[in-house]
Amino acid sequence: MKKVFNLFDFSQKINYKTEILAGLTVALALIPEAVAFAMIAKLSPLTGLYAAFMMGLITAIFGGRPGMISGATGAVAVVIVGLSISHGPEYIFATVVLAGILQILAGVFRLGKLIRLVPHSVIFGFVNGLAIIIFMSQLNQFKTENAAGDMVWMTGSSMYIFLGLVFITMLIIWGLPKLTKVFPSSLAAILVIFGIVMALGIDTRSVGDIASISGGFPPFHIPMVPLNFETLQLIFPFALIMAGVGLIESLLTLNIIDEITETRGRSNKECVAQGGANILSGFFSGMGGCAMLGQSLINISSGARARLSGITAAVMLLIFIMFGADLIEKLPMAALTGVMIMVAIGTFEWASLKTLNKMPKSDVIVMVLVTAVTVVLHNLALAVLIGVIISALVFAWDNAKRIRARKSVDENGAKLYEIYGPLFFGSIAAFNSKFDVLNDPDEVIIDFSESRVVDMSGIEALNKLTERYLKQGKKLHLRHLSEDCRILLGNADEIIEVNVMEDPSYKVVTDKF
């Protein structure tokens, strides 16, 4: 039975104080991220903030993983930046709507379950790569603009002050939970640093130095693009990649939160929620987005487990935009930087380093490769896809080597081949090498009781083998094949011995199944 948390399930006990405080912490952490990702995509800061509000609210209410946070993300920003530069925000809004439709279709056709095919080594690589990206993105906060308009590293007192504030933030986040868990340590750190800066009048970079977050309620806006086939040709590739990237990042984040909380989310429901959120984001002047692992970990580590924290984060973000911009813009970036660095440290799978010498070499290679692609290209979908493909090829190769044949001659002089291991496209060559058609006796028996014909390539291999024996005028018997194997074999009636009680009931993978 699935154990799924639900804000509206009154049989579940919800700690309202924890949920609200966790949501407030997440809302503060969302602001610089949303602004930064909007600027990466060459869009206005409010475009990212509106996307964070809409994505966060809709997925918190309707998503398949309570406690998971969605918003504007760097993965999506990287996908749409080219279209943004060449055609402007209106085409971005249309792309976001189309991506949302594709994501809903993925949920309706239950494609979310495909995330189960992602191996653990790929998840390790994805998480580690994302942790490195989060950490590296915080290094930009240690830079300042010089007279020529170039970004250079801070020096002197400004660097020492910023480093000191970041260190204090990290120390509070690390130390406070050891004393008490009544109050979220991340929020406590932000408030303490804010208080120190205000009380001592410390001159340090604040949120307002990045961009203004002041605005109104997200305006409803139908994308002003020509409704023709040319527009569809232009935006569809971007929408398809955006939908894929968003779902991969969201469903992997869902799996990670599942492991942490020891509960189980609903992947297909999350696909539909992500799609609906992106559609509304496009119609309400947002750049779209997906689940955010960093903010989700902040939320979970603060003790949140229900939908209330995500709803609170989205609502508080909108309140900050509409009414609290002047105050929020005074928040020291050092505090938010410290929070995100601690998120990066907590995100990284340190256990994966301890088990490197215990993991199969193929898994180590996949993990390192996925991490490298994630960090270098910032393309999470490509990194995961490469990892899955390599893992699948390694799995196929390993299974191809496992097919064996035990040979013997019975009392009647017939030669018996007892096959062990799966017969599929990868093991056909090894399977064929087991038989000596020319030198075998006139009667040959192949027993599949310990084997399984997996795909049509295996069926075709059996057809060709039977033809080889028939050409030599020899009688071949195939035992213990499934019913669909017997149907698909061309000479089934003549060569297969049927034993209904012992024959396996598995199905060969074909287009009709």
Q: Is residue 9 part of a domain?
A: no
Q: Is residue 424 part of a domain?
A: yes
| Domain end (from 339, 364, 390) | 390
Quick: pLDDT tens for 37-77. 898 888 999 999 999 999 999 999 999 999 999 999 888 88
Are 182 and 302 members of one domain?
yes
Are 285 and 217 members of one domain?
yes
Are 279 and 366 members of one domain?
yes
Are 440 and 321 members of one domain?
no
H or E element: which one contains 441?
Answer: none
Burial of 164 (0-12, 13-18, 19+ CB in 10 A): middle
- pLDDT for 11 equals 44
- pLDDT for 509 equals 57
Within 8 A by CB and 6+ apart from 277, the residues are 54, 55, 57, 58, 59, 70, 100, 289
Q: Is residue 6 part of a domain?
A: no
| Domain end (from 390, 422, 444) | 390
Are 370 and 424 members of one domain?
no
The whole domain housing 332 covers 16-390
Are 263 and 117 members of one domain?
yes
- pLDDT for 499 equals 38
Q: Which residues pair with 477 in a beta bridge?
A: 445
CATH number of the domain where residue 415 is located: 3.30.750.24
Are 299 and 446 members of one domain?
no
Are 313 and 407 members of one domain?
no
One digit per residue, the tens of pLDDT, for the chain of length 513 reads 444 444 444 445 788 999 999 999 999 989 988 988 898 888 999 999 999 999 999 999 999 999 999 999 888 888 898 899 999 999 999 999 999 999 999 999 998 888 878 888 888 898 898 888 888 888 888 988 877 778 889 989 999 999 999 999 999 999 998 888 788 888 999 999 999 999 999 999 898 888 889 999 999 999 999 999 999 999 999 999 899 889 998 999 999 999 888 888 999 999 999 999 999 999 999 999 999 988 999 999 988 999 999 999 999 999 999 999 999 999 999 998 998 888 888 888 888 888 888 888 889 999 999 999 988 887 777 888 899 899 988 888 888 888 999 999 988 899 999 999 888 889 999 999 999 999 999 999 999 888 888 888 888 888 888 888 989 988 888 888 777 676 666 554 455 444 333 455 556 655 443
Q: How far apart are CA 396 and CA 328, in angstroms?
A: 54
The one-letter amino acid at 39: M
Are 386 and 418 members of one domain?
no
Q: 291 near 70, Cβ under 8 Å?
A: yes
Are 313 and 368 members of one domain?
yes
H or E element: which one contains 71?
Answer: strand 70-71
Are 353 and 470 members of one domain?
no
Are 457 and 364 members of one domain?
no
What total of structural domains would you count in the chain?
A: 2
Kindly report the average pLDDT of the chain as a whole number.
87
Q: Which residues pair with 21 in a beta bridge?
A: none
Quick: pLDDT tens for 304-363. 999 999 999 999 999 999 999 999 999 999 998 998 888 888 888 888 888 888 888 889
Q: Is residue 254 part of a domain?
A: yes
Please state, as a whole number, how many other Cβ atoms lie within 10 Å of the Cβ of residue 208. 16
Q: How far apart are CA 309 and CA 11, in angstroms?
A: 18
Q: Is residue 331 part of a domain?
A: yes
Q: 509 near 456, Cβ under 8 Å?
A: yes
